[in-house]
Amino acid sequence: DAGITQSPRHKVTETGTPVTLRCHQTENHRYMYWYRQDPGHGLRLIHYSYGVKDTDKGEVSDGYSVSRSKTEDFLLTLESATSSQTSVYFCATTGGGGTEAFFGQGTRLTVV
């Protein structure tokens, strides 16, 4: 199995607080992604990275920022959490070139 680890796996936080989710990979993959999954919406891309310090916005990036200071780590930050950001967040990686993606186990975030 690909080594994609998300932390934390579960988090409850209050509205207005900052939250950082971490994705760690041991596959040396170039590309990393953050998705959110909500009922009726499938997977929606938040941000992605195509190399160290190279990131770009996805379709639902408002309220989120990311950082990638080394190949193995991709951080997702909610600067000021809102209830609309309650969701399950998935990290994924690929080596590019049309190869398959590997997913983490997900982080369930609840904003109260």
Chain contacts with another protein (rule: CB under 8 A): 4, 30-31, 33, 41-43, 45, 48, 50, 56, 90, 92, 94, 96-106
Q: Is 41 left (phi over 0), alpha (psi -120 to 50) or beta?
A: alpha
The residue among 18 and 51 lying less far from another protein, judged by its C-beta, is 51
What are φ and ψ of residue 84, in 5° steps?
-70, -10
Tell me the closest approach of the beta carbon of residue 93 to another protein, in angstroms.
10
The pair of structure tokens assigned to 96 is: 């590019």
The pair of structure tokens assigned to 2 is: 């690909």
The residue among 13 and 103 lying less far from another protein, judged by its C-beta, is 103
The residue among 54 and 79 lying less far from another protein, judged by its C-beta, is 54
